[in-house]
Amino acid sequence: MSFRILGTGSALPARSVTNDELSGFLDTSDDWISTRTGIRSRRLCTTETLDELAALAAREALAAAGVAASELDLVVCSTTTADHIMPGEACAVAEALGASCPCLDVSAACAGFVFGLDVADGWFARGRARRVLVVSAEKMSRVLDWSDRASCVLFGDGAAAAVLGEGKGLLSLRLESRPDAETINIPGLAGTSPFDETERPASTFSMDGRRVFKFAVNAIVDGVRQTCADAHVEPQDIDHFVFHQANERILGAAVQRLGIEDARVARTLAETGNLSSACIPLALDRLVRAGSIEDGQLVALVGYGGGLSVGSCLLRWGSGT
Residues marked as catalytic: 110, 244, 274
Write out the H or E segment, with its range, that includes residue 5: strand 2-11
Residue choice 45, 65, 106, 246 for contact with ligand UT7 (CB under 6 A): 246
Residues 104 and 119: beta-carbon distance below 8 Å: yes
Q: Is 216 in the site for ligand UT7 (CB under 6 A)?
A: yes
Measured distance CA(81)–CA(84) in Å, rounded: 8
Residue choice 2, 8, 10, 28 for contact with ligand UT7 (CB under 6 A): 28
Residue choice 274, 277, 309, 312 for contact with ligand UT7 (CB under 6 A): 274
Work out the number of other CB atoms within 10 angstroms of the CB of residue 121.
18
Measured distance CA(81)–CA(143) in Å, rounded: 7
CB-closest chain residue to ligand UT7: 209
Q: Is 181 in the site for ligand UT7 (CB under 6 A)?
A: no
Determine how β-strand 307-316 pairs with β-strand 298-305.
antiparallel
Minimum CB distance to ligand UT7 smaller for 29 or for 172 = 29
- Residue 145 Cβ, how far from ligand UT7 at the closest point, in Å? 12
The three-state secondary structure class of 312 is strand
Residues 101-120 that bind ligand UT7 (CB under 6 A): 110
Write out the H or E segment, with its range, that includes residue 187: none
The three-state secondary structure class of 307 is strand
Residue choice 86, 179, 197, 210 for contact with ligand UT7 (CB under 6 A): 210
Q: Is 144 in the site for ligand UT7 (CB under 6 A)?
A: no
- Residue 83 Cβ, how far from ligand UT7 at the closest point, in Å? 21
- Residue 177 Cβ, how far from ligand UT7 at the closest point, in Å? 15
Minimum CB distance to ligand UT7 smaller for 37 or for 81 = 37
Q: Which residues contact 8 (CB under 8 A, 6 or more apart)?
A: 60, 61, 64, 160, 161, 162, 163, 281, 284, 285, 288, 289
Residue choice 150, 181, 190, 229 for contact with ligand UT7 (CB under 6 A): 150
- Residue closest to 14 by CA, chosen among 51, 49, 48: 48
- Residue closest to 23 by CA, chosen among 7, 1, 40: 40
Provide the binding-site residues for ligand UT7, judged by CB under 6 A. Answer: 28, 32-33, 36-37, 110, 149-150, 153, 207, 209-210, 212-213, 216, 246-247, 250, 274, 305
